[in-house]
Structure formats: structure tokens, C-alpha cells
Chains A and B, each alone.
Chain A
């Protein structure tokens, strides 16, 4: 791809950094504002995942030069992405259900959540809050 004019890489980089900061602050804002349900989901999805897609596009288009690459390269990537969707939807239709022909999923979300909570409580009993390296983890848990 030599011969084409390079975009301003620094400009793309700083755009990526700004998007990165927004993607971290968005979900934090949802927590600070105490949003729940649909508003929270919308804010988290748009800032964390919407921006991830935008960042991926910028890296692909400008750093990987897909904008000026021969059309076969995007075709290869899109073909593989399509294959991924075929695999995913081929299995997701079963995996999304709790039972089917001659099978029942032996999984209880309530039991799984209770197990996590019990493990966390047991862990806090063991370690307490005195260890300095625990602080960040304890803070995260409280979220």
C-alpha cells in the first residue's frame, strides 16, 4: 500500500484515546447517577460497546489501511464474520433454551448467584478489609 497518502496517525490516536476515556466514564456515570434497568443498559451499551465498535472501525480503516486496501481484503474479513454468525446462530438457538428434545439444562441461575455471594462473604470473612492489596477488589465488589 505504499504510494497512498497516510492519514494523520496522531489525530486517529487521540480520537481513540478520547473514545477510550468515554467508554470508561459512561458506565461509571451510570453507577454514579444510580441508573437502573433500561436507561442503565442503554448508557452502558452505547458507551462501552458502541464505542468499542467505533474504535475498531478507526483502527481497521486507518491503522490497517482497509480504506485504501484492495477490495478482496474486506471481502475476506466479511466472509469470515458471516461464517461466525452462521456458527453462532446455529448453536445459540439451542443454548438459549433450558430444555429440548431429550435434554434438560441442569443449571439454576439463583443457585449460581447464591454460590457467588456465599463465596464472596466467606472470602471477606477470611481476609477482612485490612489487607491493602484488597482495597481495589473490595471496592469493585461493592459495585
Chain B
């Protein structure tokens, strides 16, 4: 017997179950990433000169390029959402794969940056700043990677078979949140030196 989905909407909130779940995930992520960013600010206020000297080593060009990739991917994922509302499978898949491609650019640039920093001797053990840098950007990169995998599954498993169109919006919400986290990490790590 085929699996029956019974709870597709929450009558109290008026929000579909899947989307409501994503909002809760984003809420929990706010505490995780918000905690990291708050800790960074605390350390920056307490240990300004040494953290500032360490931050001077990050590569602003790569940080800016990665901001551009993520901002553009956010645009592509809303185009995917708009196409899914029209139930246009071809366009939806195209925009999803373009979003994944930009996520790939982000990960490629990030990997190059990590390799360069490590080769120059800046590892996770170098100082508190670098520990924070690798933890925050690594955790963010992991979220980007997860988003790319989930989008690929949605494109090839759901949209290709013209079902579960709502999942495009759900992964889009998650992707925008990942973009917002980077919007805050970028000035912290690459701009305020």
C-alpha cells in the first residue's frame, strides 16, 4: 500500500506542514549561527587588536566573490520557486541546477581559500581567531553542501516526476537562510579588519 500523507497543513497556523517545519529549522539555526556570531563579536570587542591583526590575513576577494555567488543563487532559487508555482518542471529544474552550480562555485572558492590559508600556516589550531574562522565558515559550508544535495534530490526525484512542487519553496527558504548567514559572516571575517 502506498504511503499516505495525511498532515499536509496545520490548521492553527494556516501554514503547510513542510514549510512550517522549515521555519522551525531556520529558527533553531538562528540560535546556532547567531550564537557563533555573537561569540565572535564578544571576542572582537574584548581582543580587538590581536583579532584584527589575524583578520587581516583573510582574502577579501574570495569572500566578496562568494557573496556574489550566494546572492545570485538566492535569485535563481526564487525563479525556481516561481516556476514551480506554474508547475513548469523544465524551468524549475533548470533554475534549481543553476542554483546548485553557484553553490558549487562557492564551495570551490572556499576550498581554494582553505588550502591557501592552511599552506600559509593558518590552521584551526593557530589561534582563537582561526579556530572561530574555520568553525563558522566550515559549518556554513556544510549547510551549503547539504542544501545542494537536497536540491539535487528534489530536482531529480520530485520535479522530474512532476510531484511535490511545494518542496522547491521549502528548500528555497533554507537556501535563503544560508545566504543570510553569509551576509553576516562576510563583513565579520573579510571586511572589518
Contact = CB atoms under 8 A, between A and B. Distances in A.
B78 A143 contact: no
Interface in A87-128: 87-88, 92, 95-96, 107, 109, 112-113, 115-117, 119-120, 123, 127
Contacts of A42: none
Given A10-B75, A73-B15, A109-B49, A80 B28 contact: yes
A17 B30 contact: no
Residue among B15, B126, B187 facing the most chain A CB atoms (10 A cut-off):
B187
B78 A9 contact: yes
B186 A52 contact: yes
Contacts of A95: 42, 46
Interface string B135-172: 00000000000000000000000000000000001001
Nearest to A73: B23
Contacts of B14: 70, 72
A96 B46 contact: yes
Contacts of A113: 49-50, 53
Given A79-B27, A88-B38, A59 B50 contact: no
Q: How many of chain A's residues touch chain B, expressed as a range? A: 35 or more
A13 B71 contact: yes
A22 to B, nearest CB: 11
A44 B75 contact: no
A33 interface: no
A95 B39 CA distance: 10
B64 interface: yes
Contact of B54 (A24, A44, A116): A116
Q: How many of chain B's residues touch chain A, expressed as a range? A: 35 or more
A120 B165 CA distance: 53
A63 to B, nearest CB: 5
A9 B192 CA distance: 29
B102 interface: no
Interface string A4-44: 00100110010011001001100100000000000000001
Contacts of B191: 23-24, 27, 44, 48
Interface of B: 13-15, 20, 23-24, 26-28, 30-31, 34-35, 38, 42, 45-50, 53-54, 56-61, 64, 67-68, 71-72, 74-75, 77-79, 82, 85, 116, 120-121, 126-127, 169, 172-173, 176-177, 179-180, 183-184, 186-187, 191-193
